[in-house]
Structure 1
Amino acid sequence: MVFMHANASHCPLCHQPNHCALAAQRESDTCWCHHQEFPPKAQLSKAQLPKAIAPDVCICQACAEALRLEVKLGVKRVD
């Protein structure tokens, strides 16, 4: 089953608020993500970042941290 995420203000992975400045119609440089480092997309497995996620929808801080930790530990999701 594939879920398409239609609300840009919610994380497409956990469906919680993502606190995206752009979705809240604020300046992009005020967004929390501008102060974060993200793992390279090539290091993420397909299970970690499904194709059904629109490229212009932001994940939340909790999911970003979980992805960073999974990449650091070399964890591969099976869900």
Structure 2
Amino acid sequence: MSAPSDPTRCPLCGQSNQCTLADLSRAGQDCWCFTAQIDPAALERIPPQDLDRACLCPRCAQARPADAPN
């Protein structure tokens, strides 16, 4: 069994995810991700145990143009 996810950390890179929902001091504010375009490939890389437990950070969630090199 893995350790519980930290809801303030990105499950892909471990950096702050800047999630206003996880930050109790910013309660009542919408999270940046509510209006962001999230890269579907980034969502697929989230480990199963971290799904719906922690937001991606803006850098990991950033959608890449379809013609961008890998």
| Common fold by TM > 0.5 | yes
The equivalent of 2:35 in structure 1 is: 35
Q: Conserved in 1, the CA contact under 8 Å of 2:11 and 2:46? A: no
> TM-score normalised to the size of structure 2?
0.67
Residues 1:72 and 2:69 are matched in the alignment: no
Q: Conserved in 2, the CA contact under 8 Å of 1:5 and 1:54? A: no
Give the distance between the partners of 1:46 and 1:20, measured in 2 at CA.
16
Give the distance between the partners of 1:4 and 1:35, measured in 2 at CA.
30
AA paired with 1:72? A
The equivalent of 2:5 in structure 1 is: 6
Of 40, 44, 49, the residue aligned with 2:46 is 49
Give the distance between the partners of 1:45 and 1:22, measured in 2 at CA.
20
Q: Return 5+ residue gaps in structure 2 as ranges.
A: none
> TM-score normalised to the size of structure 1?
0.61
The equivalent of 2:21 in structure 1 is: 22
Secondary structure of 2:48's counterpart equals coil
Identity rate, percent: 28
Superimposed CA distance per residue, residues 21-59 of structure 1 (whole angstroms, 9 cap, x where no aligned partner): 011122252x1112212245xxx3886233232313101
> Structure 1 pair 45/64, CA: closer, same or farther in 2 (3 Å)?
closer
Of 57, 60, 63, the residue aligned with 1:60 is 57
State the Cα RMSD in Å: 3.0
